[in-house]
Structure 1
Amino acid sequence: MTRELIPGARADVDTDLFTYRSLLDDTEVELLGGLRDWLEEHLAPVVDDHWARAEFPHDLIPKVAGLDIMGLALDMSERPARRRLLSGFVGLEIARIDASFASFYGVHSGLAMGSIHQCGSDEQRERWLPAMRRLDKIGAFGLTEPHGGSDVAGGLETTARRDGDEWVIDGAKRWIGNGTFADLIVVWARDVADDQVKAFVVEKDMPGFAATKMENKLALRITQNADLTFDGVRVPEANRLQNANSFNDTNAVLRSTRGSVAWSAVGVMTGVYEVVVQYAKDRIQFGRPIAGFQLIQDHLATILANLSAALGMAARGSQLQDEGVFRDEQGALVKSFCTTRLRESVALAREVMGGNGILLEYGMARFFNDAEALYSYEGTREINTLIVGRSITGESAFT
């Protein structure tokens, strides 16, 4: 018995066993269908090559702009807000093909646009968001620092000093997605006058600002993470986000975007499941497809269970966001749970695929590596469990 083994082939399988997509209306389903077709035609054929070379497909930016998916959940003068549930499914569809392009989408549409929408004045929203929606301007989000990751709330070292009608920013940021080519970077800095964290929109051509690509990553290689430095960068008061006056405002942005990372994890699990099911059907060992072996079916069932549970939690989280009642502990739990289940699922899928699971062309090695980044960013599993634990007990276990 022989069967052709096609690298990267995907099964046409039910990835929504509990029918969460039925929560969407016809217009939303149509939008997602058009997005999936676009991703299959434009992104899927080039993603492995760009991942291997650690390069971003910049030529796709004008093409994706035509889909009008940026800032979907934000209420703008030219377009009313769409549901967070829809925005979540958009992130899923992108991550199903590539987690790095989903990261580009999440950083620009969620973190950068979301910060401006949530923390900016009416004038600032009108100045920046329409261009960002059209992708005429690309955004980034500068919070993490060389010495500050999990403890950045208390250890933020980048400073802002008021000097007349300007602010002088000094410091450094690290792991900044879109950082090498962003036009606008939302930079969080500590005001030396009152020790409060504030946000500033730094434009890429401002003197004293520099961005350097981080090399030799083994995950999200297409994502252009950068080291940013600020050496006396002068930012006008007009570029200070007027409603960002403490780390509580920073955390409000992160609460929303942790849900987006969960959707990316669900998207990657969707792609993982499609690839591994097709592989199991096509791979012949001992005279028959490995899909017919009990241990393989156990792994496939576990992956589907993880995917189903994570999708349910992500969908409910988005509904709570739409209702305006999404809490810190819910955002922390959905992020940590979904990325933990992703990590388990992609390991099981790689195991099913054996040695072919570490070859880029078979579609699993990229998912396997990228899952490690999703597991860690926007709060490690341990930090997020402490947020949940504080809610459970009323006691803070943060040191």
Structure 2
Amino acid sequence: MTTSTTTEAGLGARLYPVADWYDAEALLGFDERAVLARLREFLDTEAKPLLAYYWERGEFPEQLAQPLIDLDLMEPFDAPARGIYHGFRIFELARTDASLATWYTAQAGLFRTAIRVGASEEQQREWMPRVIDFSLKGVFSLTEPEHGSDIAGGLATTARFEADLPGSGTWVLNGAKRWIGGASTADVLCVFARDVADGQVKGFLVDRNAHGVTVEKIHGKASLRMMQNAHITLAGVQVPESMRLHNVDSFKDVAAMLRAMRSDVAWIATGIQAGAFEAALAYVRERRQFGRTLGSFQLVQEKLARMLGNLTASLALVVRLNEQQSQGSYRDPDSALAKMQTSLMMRETVALAREVVGGNGITLAADVARFHADAEAVYSYEGTHEVNALIVGRALTGESAFTH
């Protein structure tokens, strides 16, 4: 439980006076805004000065991890945090840096959702408090080297049950996972594998240091450079039955997780737009050419207006989706549409931000280059544009256009 002595005067009138043009922030309560203000202060003073250096080196600033955990952002209130707070927490992280947002949501979104949806009540009682306080750090390990968009039918990692004692037993996992962010510092890997007995997908919490687990950093990335993505090899890895997610019996159960997590990525895509837009706006207000500020030129103002239009539309999408999900309505086409459209608008917004900053837009000092590059990863993960479009198209027509 986090307490705050922040006053209304100290908090200020608005957290997002320009980026949130239609004031969706008004849906937040005072205590929620106070926590977000504390997060903003940490990001501005501790994180921002490090971002360009670590992004260029392709390393995560590990010194930020524990202080970020210590902010107690996941469940900071006496009652369970509202969905709108969770959304704006992601938005605030992403408007600072996409890797920071991805790192935090790997635990607070992906891994927590895997436990919430896939674990039995008994398992949740044991694990969920440790997920919330980060004493059990985990990562969502679904994507494979040869299977991304076709993972539902193509998942190749196998699980074989070997009974050794009545009522117990051990699972043996073989295969590989790829693009798993944060795997090198996780305690457990939430691995999805196909049961050789019935052909159905099951979920397992695998000790990262277990015999047969190899975690290798993926080098040479041009996007999300601070986020440490890994290639994981599983060779005869033994997992006790107690560490199997007991509510995961098929890929339909995994799809239920993805349905919830796509909305988190839509908030990231929206936050990235806010960060790029704010950086570009600050630059054109100060940068002078031809004896005038760049912000005084018609073409620059038109681009700023388009960026704000994209950002405002994206924020409206994610806020409305959040309202639906808070009421218990989790539909594949809803989250797919939000992820698809916010990512599409994000791509244009970051390109326009880089464009109005001119030559300096390719430098890390101006911030927009980082947002521009990182947006490409967000555009593709948690469902590509095409896959999400086909999910929406299937809902519209009643016919699947996925290839077989």
Of 309, 316, 337, the residue aligned with 1:312 is 316
Equivalent residue, structure 2, for 1:162:
161
Q: Could you list the structure 1 runs, at least 4 aligned residues long, displaced by more than 6 angstroms after superposition.
A: none
The answer on 1:128 being equivalent to 2:127 is yes
5+ residue gaps in structure 1? 1-10, 73-77
Please tell me the residue identity of whatever aligns with 2:120.
S
The answer on 1:220 being equivalent to 2:219 is no
Q: Distance in 1 between matches of 2:380 and 2:387?
A: 10
1:215-272 Cα offsets, whole Å, 9 max, x none, are 0100001111000010000000000000011111101111111000010111111111
Please tell me the residue identity of whatever aligns with 1:174.
R
Q: Distance in 2 between matches of 1:80 and 1:57?
A: 32
Q: Distance in 1 between matches of 2:329 and 2:294?
A: 46
The answer on 1:293 being equivalent to 2:297 is yes
1:61-102 Cα offsets, whole Å, 9 max, x none, are 221122212367xxxxx9643111110100000011110010
1:303-332 Cα offsets, whole Å, 9 max, x none, are 000000000000111111110012100000
Is the CA contact 2:259–2:335 (under 8 Å) kept in the aligned structure 1?
A: yes
Q: Distance in 2 between matches of 1:287 and 1:37?
A: 35
How far 1:206 moved relative to its partner? 1.1
Give the length in aligned residue pairs: 384
Q: Please, which moves more after superposition, 80-89 or 320-329? A: 80-89
Q: Distance in 2 between matches of 1:28 and 1:12?
A: 14
How far 1:131 moved relative to its partner? 2.2
Q: Distance in 1 between matches of 2:193 and 2:187?
A: 19
Please tell me the residue identity of whatever aligns with 1:217.
K
Is the CA contact 2:106–2:182 (under 8 Å) kept in the aligned structure 1?
A: yes
The 5-angstrom pairing of residues 5-84 of structure 1 reads: 14-70=18-74, 80-84=79-83
TM-score by length of 2: 0.93
Q: Distance in 1 between matches of 2:115 and 2:234?
A: 20
Q: Distance in 2 between matches of 1:71 and 1:202?
A: 25
Q: Distance in 1 between matches of 2:160 and 2:75?
A: 31
The 5-angstrom pairing of residues 354-373 of structure 1 reads: 354-373=358-377
Equivalent residue, structure 1, for 2:10:
none
How far 1:137 moved relative to its partner? 2.7
Equivalent residue, structure 1, for 2:206:
202
Is the CA contact 2:16–2:25 (under 8 Å) kept in the aligned structure 1?
A: no
The answer on 1:137 being equivalent to 2:136 is yes
Q: Distance in 1 between matches of 2:51 and 2:136?
A: 23
Is the CA contact 1:196–1:246 (under 8 Å) kept in the aligned structure 2?
A: yes
Equivalent residue, structure 1, for 2:9:
none
Q: Distance in 1 between matches of 2:284 and 2:327?
A: 41
Is the CA contact 1:144–1:152 (under 8 Å) kept in the aligned structure 2?
A: yes
Task: For residue 391 of structure 2, give the secondary structure of its aligned residue in structure 1.
Answer: helix
Q: Distance in 2 between matches of 1:80 and 1:288?
A: 52
Q: Distance in 2 between matches of 1:344 and 1:192?
A: 44
Task: For residue 46 of structure 1, give the secondary structure of its aligned residue in structure 2.
Answer: helix
Q: Please, which moves more after superposition, 304-313 or 52-61? A: 52-61
Describe the shift of the 1:203–1:80 C-alpha distance in structure 2 as closer, same or farther (beyond 3 A): farther
RMSD over equivalenced CA pairs, Å = 1.5
Please tell me the residue identity of whatever aligns with 1:39.
L
Q: Which has the higher contact order (CA 8 A, sep 6+)?
A: 1
Is the CA contact 1:343–1:375 (under 8 Å) kept in the aligned structure 2?
A: yes
Task: For residue 238 of structure 2, give the secondary structure of its aligned residue in structure 1.
Answer: strand
Q: Distance in 1 between matches of 2:42 and 2:17?
A: 20
How far 1:205 moved relative to its partner? 1.6
Equivalent residue, structure 2, for 1:6:
none
Please tell me the residue identity of whatever aligns with 1:44.
K
The answer on 1:383 being equivalent to 2:387 is yes
How far 1:13 moved relative to its partner? 5.2
Is the CA contact 2:95–2:273 (under 8 Å) kept in the aligned structure 1?
A: yes
Please tell me the residue identity of whatever aligns with 1:244.
V
Is the CA contact 1:13–1:274 (under 8 Å) kept in the aligned structure 2?
A: no
How far 1:12 moved relative to its partner? 8.2
Q: Distance in 1 between matches of 2:378 and 2:181?
A: 13
The answer on 1:232 being equivalent to 2:236 is yes
The answer on 1:303 being equivalent to 2:307 is yes
Is the CA contact 1:71–1:109 (under 8 Å) kept in the aligned structure 2?
A: no
TM-score by length of 1: 0.94
Equivalent residue, structure 2, for 1:256:
260
The answer on 1:191 being equivalent to 2:190 is no
